[in-house]
Amino acid sequence: MQEPEIYCPGCAWRPKSDSRWTCMPSCGTVWNTFWTRGVCPGCRYTWTRTQCLSCHAFSPHTDWYHYPERSEERERSSVEASA
């Protein structure tokens, strides 16, 4: 499986490796939530919603992961659609 592209489903902002979120009001751990798929490494709380650090909107954490189609699948779909 390909690695997903990670970006805000609202504004398409892409977190950088130094982007950080804080586990609040739980334990206060600061980390990059995409390193752990939303699980706090301090208290193991699973964050199901993530706030964008750019547009500040909250969205389901899983909606940040975008899996691009593999090139062969794209080509196959194009051939089937034109047939």
Distance CA(18)–CA(35), nearest Å, equals 11
How high is the pLDDT of residue 18? 97
| Residue 52: closest CA among 83, 10, 80, 22 | 10
Contact 27, 43 (CB under 8 A): yes
Cβ distance 53 to 15 under 8 Å?
Answer: yes
- Yes or no: say if 15 and 70 are a contact pair by the CB < 8 Å rule: no
Per-residue pLDDT tens for 4-46? 999 999 999 999 999 999 999 889 999 999 999 999 999 999 9
pLDDT at 53: 98
> What pLDDT was estimated at residue 69?
74
Arithmetic mean of pLDDT, 47-53: 97
Q: Residue 70 pLDDT more than 60?
A: no
Residue 46 is given by DSSP the state B
Which is more confident, 44 or 77?
A: 44
Q: Let me know: does 2 contact 69? Beta carbons within 8 Å.
A: no
Alpha-carbon span 63 to 83, nearest angstrom: 33
User: Which pLDDT score, from 0 to 100, does residue 73 have?
Assistant: 58
pLDDT at position 2 is: 82
